[in-house]
Amino acid sequence: RKEVEQDPGPFNVPEGATVAFNCTYSNSASQSFFWYRQDCRKEPKLLMSVYSSGNEDGRFTAQLNRASQYISLLIRDSKLSDSATYLCVVTDTGGFKTIFGAGTRLFVKA
């Protein structure tokens, strides 16, 4: 089993759609969780940290379920500019070991 697993994708959605990405992690001692987005041939950029209580930033909502070792990202009212690969990232205590999921590709169409 991979340490961090994501939906295989790609997701093809129309503008305005709501899309949800799921991610599971295997290490129950994992401490910090993030969603990054990566555009083609660019570096990953931090989208949002994922807090235990869940958090929202505009159209983006992240949830963490420690019991199920599950993280999600919800994008509402998708824009063309949301097209990218979304990476689920998990780190251990102290941030010394970071595991990236394989990423889920999102295509938003007009």
Partner 1 sequence: GAVVSQHPSWVICKSGTSVKIECRSLDFQATTMFWYRQFPKQSLMLMATSNEGSKATYEQGVEKDKFLINHASLTLSTLTVTSAHPEDSSFYICSASSDSSFYNEQFFGPGTRLTVL
Residues that bind partner 1 (CB under 8 A): 31-32, 34, 41-46, 49, 87, 89, 91, 94-103
Tokens of 49: 């940290």
Nearer to partner 1, 6 or 77 (CB): 6
Q: How far apart are CB 95 and partner 1 at their closest, in Å? A: 3
Type of residue numbered 41: R
Phi-psi region of 88 (alpha: psi -120 to 50; beta: other; left: phi over 0): beta
Q: Which is nearer to partner 1, 75 or 87 (by Cβ)?
A: 87
Give the integer Cα–Cα distance in Å for 74 and 77.
Answer: 10
CB of 108 to partner 1, least distance (A): 19
Find the shortest distance in angstroms from Cβ 72 to partner 1.
18
For 17, the token pair is 């759609």
Residue closer to partner 1 by CB (options 79, 97) is 97
